[in-house]
Amino acid sequence: MSEAMVDGPVTRSGFDQEKIVDAVRRAVGTPNGILGLHEPVFAGNEIAYLEECIKSTYVSSVGPFVDRFERMLEEVTGAKRAVAVVNGTAALHACFRLAGVEPGDEVISPALTFIATTNAIAYCGATPHFVDSSLETLGMDARALGVRLDAIAQKTATGTINRETGRRIAAIAPMHTFGHPVDLDAIAALANDWNIALVEDAAESLGSTYKGRAVGSQARLAALSFNGNKIVTTGGGGAILTNDEELGRRAKHLTTTAKLPHKWAFVHDEIGFNYRLPNLNAALGCAQLEQLDGFLASKRKLASAYERVFAEVPGVRFSREPAGTTSNYWLNAILLDEAYADRRDDLLAALNDAGFGARPVWTLMHKLPMFAQSPRGDLSTAESIERRLINLPSSASIRTRDE
């Protein structure tokens, strides 16, 4: 019996759409207009730092705020090196390149992820290989990964290959869905056993921890995102994290057009990428990082309010942080019982009509035309989650009814 089939009752009695809408209302009040899914909060030094940046004339990819932002990220995450880049997708692309992913390789990733994970694999000329997700974490299921590797993987002198396709399996890329950390120890153990690089997609999980350590600090390479809808934003931006000093230097070189340092000469020693984060964006990010603790506290308080109100509503459960972790609760999520999956779209319409900017989870990657032929294992749990998950308004600015 699959994990997806044991979640919730199998009868249709008790489902009440209005009770679910009212539960959201009891948690956050009645919105004046539309309460967005995730909106940025600018309540610190953003304007002051932007003015300082503009006055300095250093608004492009060189400037003191870039350096400051990278050092702040290292302090927040515990990673030895942080390299700021233009967006999370660029960070992932660079991470895969740095991990040695080459054209013709495969990278194992969840089918339940934002398309940036999969696009970045394709940018390398590699093929995504999809595995199932866990109901507990909503991210890559270590058990499903182990089953899949046992079924198709073979160790060779040149690396681990997929016996069915003949391609090398170059990396495993778990993603921490909505800020909920995956079971990193179990996934890392499998990557180590099979001699496959681990690249951590931490785009949604700044501020989350796994067994007391910051997410993004435990794999050899990890990627962050600072898009406008993330817990901390630079407008658009991302970062590469690593604990390998040499890899950090190479990350900066590769993402700065692979230009060799010189006072005036333009000499590039390999094909690089113009992925550096502008100083202007980094200035915004520094002001945002100064407020991270407050953002996290507000978002955890909101998650607690949602969890409390939904404990009283049949036919639905709130997705809470996995045991042994703390989640940043980037996006709060509820899961309808499987018996009510066909009511999801009606509920989405009702929530949005009531002023709550709710949305479904992403379309699974193997259902998109460009990745439909990619290899994959059993995806029954991911498909179940896709049918019945709803994200709720999650901004750090939202005040709960009991505040």
Q: pLDDT by residue (tens digit) across 248-299?
A: 999 999 999 999 999 999 999 999 999 999 999 999 999 999 999 999 999 9
Instruction: Give the end of a domain, one of 289, 311, 341.
Output: 289
Do 153 and 93 share a structural domain?
Answer: yes
- pLDDT for 360 equals 98
Phi, psi at 398, each rounded to 5°: -70, 130
| Beta-carbon contacts of residue 166 (< 8 Å; ≥ 6 apart) | none
Q: pLDDT for 35-66, tens place per residue?
A: 999 999 999 999 999 999 999 999 998 899 99
Longest CA–CA separation in the chain, Å: 74
* Residue 357 and residue 297 share a domain: yes
Residue at 361 is within a domain: yes
Residue where a domain stops, chosen among 236, 255, 289: 289
- Rounded Cα distance between 363 and 344, Å, is 14
Tally the domains of the chain.
Answer: 2
* Domain match, 359 and 259 both: no
In degrees, to the nearest 5, what angle opens at C-alpha 100 toward C-alphas 96 and 101? 55
| Chain centre to alpha carbon of residue 353 | 28
Query: Both 99 and 208 in a single domain?
Result: yes
Residue of 19, 155, 230, 367 marked active site: 230
How many CB atoms sit inside 10 A of residue 126's CB? 22
Q: Is residue 53 located within the same domain as residue 181?
A: yes
Burial of 372 (0-12, 13-18, 19+ CB in 10 A): exposed
Q: How far is CA 14 from CA 6, 17, 351, 375, 387, in A?
A: 18, 10, 19, 39, 19
Residue 403 falls inside a structural domain: no
Tens digits of residue pLDDT in 140-169: 999 999 999 999 999 999 999 999 999 999
Q: Quickly tell me which residue has 């750090």 as its tokens.
A: 396
The crossing angle, in degrees rounded to 10, of helices 46-56 and 64-77 is 140
Whether residue 15 sits in one domain with residue 72? no
Residue 76 is predicted with a pLDDT of 97
- CA 77 → CA 86, 211, 215, distances in Å? 19, 14, 7
- Could you give phi then psi for residue 242, rounded to 5 degrees? -155, 155
Say what percent of the chain tops pLDDT 70.
Answer: 96
Say yes or no: 303 and 374 in one domain: yes
Q: What is the mean pLDDT of the chain?
A: 95
Confidence grade of residue 13 (pLDDT, cut at 50, 70, 90): low
Please say which residue of 260, 289, 318 terminates a domain: 289
Is there a single domain that holds both residue 28 and residue 139? no
Q: Residue 322 belongs to a domain with what CATH number?
A: 3.90.1150.10
Domain carrying residue 253: 46-289
Which CATH number belongs to the domain containing residue 79 in this structure?
Answer: 3.40.640.10
Query: What single-letter DSSP state applies at residue 320?
Result: P
Q: Which of 58, 100, 82 is nearest to 252 (CA)?
A: 82
Residue 169 lies in a domain: yes
CA distance linking residue 114 with residue 230, whole number of Å: 13
Strands 169-172 and 197-201: parallel
**Do residues 87 and 233 both lie within one domain?**
yes
Domain co-membership, 89 together with 166:
yes
Q: Is residue 398 part of a domain?
A: no
Q: What is the mean pLDDT of residues 363-379?
A: 98
Q: Is residue 399 part of a domain?
A: no
Same domain? For 246 and 307 the reply is no
Distance between CA atoms of residues 165 and 146, nearest Å: 18
DSSP string computed for 344-375: HHHHHHHHHHTTB--EEPPPPGGGSGGGTTS-
The verdict on 189 and 328 lying in the same domain is no
Taking the C-alpha atoms of residue 142 and residue 129, their distance in angstroms, rounded to an integer, is 15
Q: Is 19 among the residues known to form the active site?
A: no
Confidence check: pLDDT of 8 > 70: no
Q: Residue 28's closest CA among 295, 228, 307?
A: 307
* Structural domain contains residue 402: no
